Amino acid sequence: MPGVETALPVMLTQAVAGKCTIEQVSNWMSTAVAKAYNIPNKGAIAIGYDADLVLVDVENYHQIERQDIVSKCGWSPFEGWNLTGYPVADTKLAMTIQEDDPWIKVLDSLFSEIPIVGMFTGYVFNPSYTLARAGGMNVMKLSKIPGFLSRHFTIQRVDLLDDREEIQAILSILMMIFLERRRG
């Protein structure tokens, strides 16, 4: 049965309608598939995993019409459906993000639990991260600014990037920050 090319928009349309969550769709379309087929380094946004991302637009809708179908059969069971969640960018980000000194995070987490001393860890322990291309060339640096009870960072461009690379790099850094905050 045809439908692979519309699978993600169909599922995301259902998520937007409240019938499931976007997190469930992400699991069904990525994490669960990687686990079911034992595909290494896929299905998660994590250290050591490939940074294959698909950016989708869930605000615009598009009606499925026969002339838009690209599969060999030339038809879709979803013809006439108004769907959202079409990919707007498929990126295979050939960049890595690495902590410059992982011990800083360890020391920060240990000392931050000590009364009174913990107040000063934000000023003393300041992690920094380097974003590098696949060939190992550093392109950006993310550094925490020393400060009491604050979490401000600076992003410094180390090498020239074209517009697409710069967007990918900044999105990668944002994703890393969100993951780090989620993990505590």
Asked if residue 105 and residue 87 are part of one domain, the reply reads: no
pLDDT at position 84, please? 93
What's the number of domains the chain is made of?
A: 2
pLDDT at position 177, please? 74
Q: Are residues 121 and 111 in contact, defined by beta-carbon separation less than 8 angstroms?
A: yes
Asked if residue 121 and residue 81 are part of one domain, the reply reads: no
Asked if residue 102 and residue 88 are part of one domain, the reply reads: no
Asked if residue 118 and residue 53 are part of one domain, the reply reads: no
Name the burial class of residue 16, with classes exposed (0-12), middle (13-18) and buried (19+) by CB atoms within 10 angstroms of its CB. middle
Last residue of a domain, one of 92, 112, 132: 92
Whether the predicted model's global pTM rises above the 0.85 cut: no
Asked if residue 117 and residue 42 are part of one domain, the reply reads: no
Asked if residue 173 and residue 159 are part of one domain, the reply reads: yes
**Going residue by residue through the chain (184 aa), what tens digit of pLDDT does each one get?**
678 888 999 999 999 999 999 999 989 998 898 899 998 888 888 777 776 777 788 888 999 998 888 777 888 899 999 999 887 755 555 677 888 887 887 887 788 788 887 777 777 888 888 888 877 788 899 888 887 766 778 888 888 888 878 887 888 888 777 766 655 5
Asked if residue 105 and residue 72 are part of one domain, the reply reads: no
Last residue of a domain, one of 92, 120, 140: 92
Asked if residue 99 and residue 110 are part of one domain, the reply reads: yes
pLDDT at position 89, please? 59
Asked if residue 79 and residue 108 are part of one domain, the reply reads: no
Last residue of a domain, one of 37, 59, 92: 92
Asked if residue 87 and residue 100 are part of one domain, the reply reads: no
The domain of 116 spans: 95-183
Q: Give me the DSSP letters along 101-128.
A: -HHHHHHHHHHTTSTTGGGGHHHH---E
Q: How many CA atoms lie within 13 A of 112 on its CB side?
A: 15
CATH of the domain at 45: 2.30.40
What six digits make up the tokens of 168?
């990918």
